[in-house]
Structure 1
Amino acid sequence: MDLLQLRYFQTVARYEHISRAAEELRIAQPSLSRAIARLEADLGATLFDRQGRRVRLNQYGVIFLRHVDRALSELDDGRRAVREARDTGLGRVSVASETLLTVTPLLGRFRAAHPRADVRLYQSNAEEMDRRLRAREVDFCVASQPLTGTNFESVELKREEVLLAVPYGHWLDGRERVTIPELADEPFVSTRVGHWQRALLDRLFAAEGLTPLLSCESDEPAASQDMISAGLGIGLIPAVSRQAGTETRVPVAWVHVDAPDCHRVLTLVWNRDTYLSEAALKFREFTLNTPFVTRHLPEPRGGQASDGPAPADAPRRL
């Protein structure tokens, strides 16, 4: 049994198809089949049920794959640790977030405190963040939706109200509060399914037995305010976006939504089975000991909507 055989087995197990696995591994199908046969002979048990080029993991294959995944992951982590220690001193920390605006101030402060850290940032929706964590492609996710992997751990960073943004001159411009039933016939600017804004919008409407009317669905949450300001619809926007965007652009009015749980919860999530470089460990410590806040700007016109007193943002330790 050697490392190459284990890599071959892992790839065949993922595809459950000899020709597809051979194509990815860039080897001939007969060579791959022989390698798997030698591995099975070494183990004294077949790992796949064969149906032509199509194969299925059997009970022994499922058991063996669990250990192979763990062993190869440890080896990959070891390579990464050596490479990062050699190249950067502190190593690399990789972070995924649904919106980059959310984590930019935090990462800026971290880079200032640890200039030798190699920081990588990825924009991902919830499904992609879940996959990246499971595949150990990122160290942390700053998520606005629950990520529920069995090996995931999380800490709440911030809880903030989500407001309704409307274009100036809209009938809600100047209103203090609005209920969901009042918005039943209003066109909404939102994100596609998979993003937290859409999940919140659908949940609030479903609680009233309603379905939101959508005028625009996008993959770019940061563009929502611009589209609302242009009169394409109304939309749910977190307080942090209002604070960051009002100073220079995006004129909209703000209204409180009179509905329970109309807020966003930001959490830091990581896979406890993933190797963390020194940079990643320092990032986690820095994040858990730094109030997750954004700069406050003058109150915008309309609706008297505000964030209220600064929340107690000290994170909860697990």
Structure 2
Amino acid sequence: MQLRYFQSVARYEHISRAAEELRIAQPSLSRAIARLEAELGSPLFDRQGRRIRLNQYGVVFLRHVDRALSELDDGRRAVREARDTGLGRVNVASETLLTISSLLGSFRAAHPRADVRLFQSDADEMNRQLRAREVDFCVASQPLPGTHVESVELVREEVLLGVPHGHWLDGRDSVTVLEIADEPFVTTRRGWQRALLDQLFASEGLTPVLSCESDEPGASGDLISAGLGIGLIPAMSREAGERIPLAWVHVAAPDCQRVLSLVWNRDTHLSEAALKFREFITSRPLMTHRPADS
């Protein structure tokens, strides 16, 4: 318990706030920290009146405390999952749920004792979830930074231009970025779709004209079909027989593709369900269509 107390005080560098979070009396927390410092034979905080700051010894100790408590949390989780489900739980985050919904259904059918939880998250939220160990895996369309992550590429797919039927590009096989410089685009506010659009236009010294920005990548097809603009859609959507009526055009630009990767925190305990999920997803194709040069 002393280590939890120290971790909270170190995070806030404030006894009162830490005591409020821990739901204990402030004097009791102060005494617990004092006892810990006595056991270690070194102060962990510099005290200036009522203010405290983590000192050099505290910084060193905190790294080990964070690691130790994280291991304990993983151990509790492993025991709980083994008790509750037999196979354990796997938590997966993906930018768009359409990408892996079919695969997750197949996994659950193959491993009915596995408890599967799915989250829709953007790249920033995925990175936070991995660091906080809230998810085991992310199916990411963008690189997730950090030395704590490992990844394996799942698939590379061409990204096509979706246009509404009757549009002047309907029937075209391919188009250059310069030809669509003045076309209004449907895209996401952030994420791989927006990043790729900006990248393609920046390579020509241009900025795209935006007619609609959404927070749901899966809604782009509906918005394009409704005539609100044109947009970048992964080839997986066409190959999967998407219900939305669109015309598809190849973009004559290098690297007009999306790379999907499975990403995980190398320091996180993986349940048996999580290990089986990683084996399952890396051994099965997410799609049947790949770029011609792959």
Counterpart of 2:44 (choices 44, 47, 60) is: 47
Contact 1:11 1:21 in 2 (8 A): yes
Code of the residue aligned with 2:32 in structure 1: it is: A
* Paired AA for residue 237 in structure 2: S
Task: For structure 1, list consecutive stretches of 5 or more residues without a partner in the other structure.
Answer: 295-305, 312-318
**1:122 equivalenced with 2:119 (yes/no):** yes
2:137 matched to which residue of 1?
A: 140
Shift of 1:116: 0.7
Q: How does 1:1-318 map to 2 (within 5 A)?
A: 4-50=1-47, 54-193=51-190, 195-244=191-240, 246=242, 249-293=243-287
* 2-structure distance, mates of 1:109, 1:42: 53
- The percent identity for this pair of structures is 80
Q: Deviation string for 1:264-306 (max 9, x for gaps)?
A: 0111111111111111111111122222226xxxxxxxxxxx8
The secondary structure found in structure 2 opposite 1:282 is: helix
TM-score normalized by the length of structure 2: 0.93
- What is the Cα-based RMSD across aligned positions, in Å? 2.0
Give, as a single letter, the amino acid of the residue that structure 2 aligns with 1:230.
A
Q: Could you say if the C-alpha distance between residues 106 and 21 of structure 1 is closer, same or farther in structure 2, counting changes exceeding 3 Å?
A: same
1:242 partner SS: helix
Structure 2 letter corresponding to 1:38: R
SS of the residue 2:100 aligns to: helix
Read off the aligned partner of 2:22 and give its amino acid letter: L
Task: Name segments (4+ residues, structure 1) moved above 6 Å.
Answer: 308-311
Cα offset for 1:15? 2.9
Q: Post-superposition shift, 1:51?
A: 5.0
Aligned residue type for 1:266: L
How far residue 228 of structure 1 moved from its aligned partner, in angstroms, is: 0.7
Q: In 2 relative to 1, CA 21–192 (structure 1 residues): closer, same or farther, beyond 3 Å? A: farther
Amino acid at match of 1:206: A
Partner secondary structure for residue 260 of structure 2: strand
When the two structures are aligned, how many residues end up with a matched partner? 294
Greater mean alpha carbon deviation, residues 117-126 or residues 22-31: 22-31
SS at match of 1:145: coil
For structure 2, the 5+ residue unaligned runs are none
CA contact (8 A) 1:160 1:238 kept: yes
SS in 1 for 2:253: coil
Please report the TM-score for the alignment, with normalisation by the length of structure 1.
Answer: 0.86
Mapped to 1, the partners of 2:170 and 2:42 lie a distance apart of 71
The 8 Å contact of residues 19 and 53 in structure 1, kept in 2 or not, is answered as no
Distance 2:25 2:112 in 1: 47
Distance in 2, Cα, partners of 1:40 & 1:205: 58
Aligned-partner residue type, residue 285 of structure 1: E
CA distance in 2: counterparts of 1:181 and 1:252, whole angstroms: 22
Which amino acid letter does the alignment assign opposite residue 157 of structure 1? L
* SS of residue in 2 equivalent to 1:146: coil
Give the drift of 1:309: 7.0
Distance 1:55 1:161, change over 3 A: farther
The 8 Å contact of residues 157 and 291 in structure 2, kept in 1 or not, is answered as no
